[in-house]
């Protein structure tokens, strides 16, 4: 006879009711898409299931990401060791861990624990995928810097704030000198490496409050909140210092790295694209000055 929702006396009624409530919570919290909601959901699911794999595997604190955490599951942590090999992706990690005797003992001890463990895995997998998609949406895949899409989102907010409350914000355009010649002479793979190196140099130069963006090609933008272009000298000094360090190690007789820079101020009443064009124009003048030896 099939189980009915109206039959509270059935021995599986309480179990199914709890599972149904947890599934509803999963749907509600997943729609919120916040770190707190995902962590809260995972915590509520795992609190009744203990996993003491470090005891059986004789793991140590330095080798186990969930050492002494009875609610932890090492198979949900990407990038950890499994069978002596590092598994950087959750899918690979999970696939190998399903063959582990601890996993089998924990997950398959009864149908209810198996259902909940699969639900935890589903939550973790969806969260991982969500984070990957968010990263792809706002990060440049080559350099790891913020991309133009992120810049547009942030600047829409910042421009609205400036127009409502006033203030100032500087945008610096940074362009790699003679990048086309490097690409033509050494190929695009070498050029990609140079882009990564330049991104690293700029990342080490900007302040934590600044926003560094790969704007396109070999152009970068540095967004400097609450800063006037007249205050850019410390940033330029740091950039030149890191450029000098790089050239000292890697420059050859064929080329060395250098940047052309241009800064413009965004303030109340100014259009963003006008400011970017102004920074670009100043950057081009700086480039021509360098090329002419001025």
- Write phi, then psi, for 17 (nearest 5 degrees): -65, -45
Tokens 């006008």 belong to 274
Tokens of 29: 């919290």
Q: What angle do CA 203, 206, 212 make, to 5 degrees?
A: 65
Burial of 176 (0-12, 13-18, 19+ CB in 10 A): buried
Q: Cα(225)–Cα(228) distance, rounded to whole angstroms?
A: 9
In this prediction, residue 127 has a pLDDT band, given cuts at 50, 70 and 90, of confident
Q: Which of 189, 193, 180, 208 is nearest to 143 (CA)?
A: 193
**Do 191 and 287 touch, CB atoms closer than 8 A?**
no
H helix or E strand, kind and range, residue 237:
helix 233-250
Q: Does domain 148-291 have CATH number 3.50.50.60?
A: no
Instruction: Answer for the pair 67, 101: CB distance below 8 angstroms, yes or no.
Output: no
Q: What is the CA radius of gyration of the chain?
A: 27
Q: Facing residues of 82 across strands?
A: 85
Q: Is 97 exposed, middle or buried (0-12, 13-18, 19+ CB in 10 A)?
A: buried
Whole-angstrom Cα distance, residue 33 to residue 27? 10
Residue 276 scores a pLDDT above 80: yes
Token look-up 């090329």 returns 291
Q: At residue 139, does pLDDT exceed 80? A: yes
- Rounded to an integer, what distance in angstroms lies between the CA atom of residue 11 and that of residue 191? 67
Of the listed ranges 67-71, 78-82, 106-110, the least confidently predicted one is 78-82
4 pLDDT more than 70: no
Q: Are 261 and 236 in contact (CB under 8 A)?
A: yes
* Per-residue pLDDT band at 248 (split at 50, 70, 90): very high
- pLDDT surpasses 60 at 259: yes
Instruction: Tell me the β-bridge partners of 170.
Output: 224, 265
**Placement of tokens 């945008």 in the chain:** 171
pLDDT confidence tier of residue 25, bands split at 50, 70 and 90: confident
Residue ranges of domains in the chain: 13-138, 148-291
Could you give the percent of the chain with pLDDT greater than 70?
73
């Amino acid at each position: 006879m099939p189980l009915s929702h109206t039959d509270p006396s059935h021995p599986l009624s309480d179990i199914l009711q709890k599972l149904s409530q947890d599934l509803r919570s999963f749907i509600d919290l997943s729609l919120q898409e916040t770190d707190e909601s995902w962590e809260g959901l995972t915590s509520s699911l795992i609190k009744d299931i203990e996993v003491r794999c470090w005891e059986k595997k004789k793991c140590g604190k330095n080798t186990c990401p969930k050492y002494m955490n009875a609610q932890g599951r090492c198979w949900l942590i990407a990038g950890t060791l499994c069978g002596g090999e590092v598994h950087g992706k959750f899918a690979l990690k999970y696939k190998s861990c399903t063959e582990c005797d601890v996993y089998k003992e924990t997950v398959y001890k009864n149908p209810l624990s198996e259902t909940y463990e699969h639900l935890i895995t589903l939550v973790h997998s969806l969260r991982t995928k969500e984070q990957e998609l968010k990263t792809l949406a706002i990060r440049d895949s080559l350099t790891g810097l913020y991309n133009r899409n992120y810049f547009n989102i942030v600047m829409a907010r910042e421009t609205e704030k400036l127009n409502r409350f006033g203030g100032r914000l500087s945008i610096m355009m940074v362009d790699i000198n003679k990048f086309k010649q490097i690409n033509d002479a050494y190929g695009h793979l070498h050029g990609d490496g140079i882009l990564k190196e330049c991104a690293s140099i700029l990342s080490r130069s900007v302040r934590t409050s600044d926003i560094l963006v790969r704007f396109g090609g070999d152009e970068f933008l540095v967004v400097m909140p609450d800063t006037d272009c007249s205050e850019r000298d410390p940033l330029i000094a740091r950039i030149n210092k890191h450029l000098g360090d790089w050239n000292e190690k890697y420059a050859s007789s064929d080329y060395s790295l250098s940047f052309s820079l241009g800064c413009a101020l965004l303030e109340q009443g100014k259009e963003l694209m006008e400011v970017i064009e102004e920074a670009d124009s100043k950057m081009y003048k700086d480039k021509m000055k360098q090329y002419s030896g001025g």
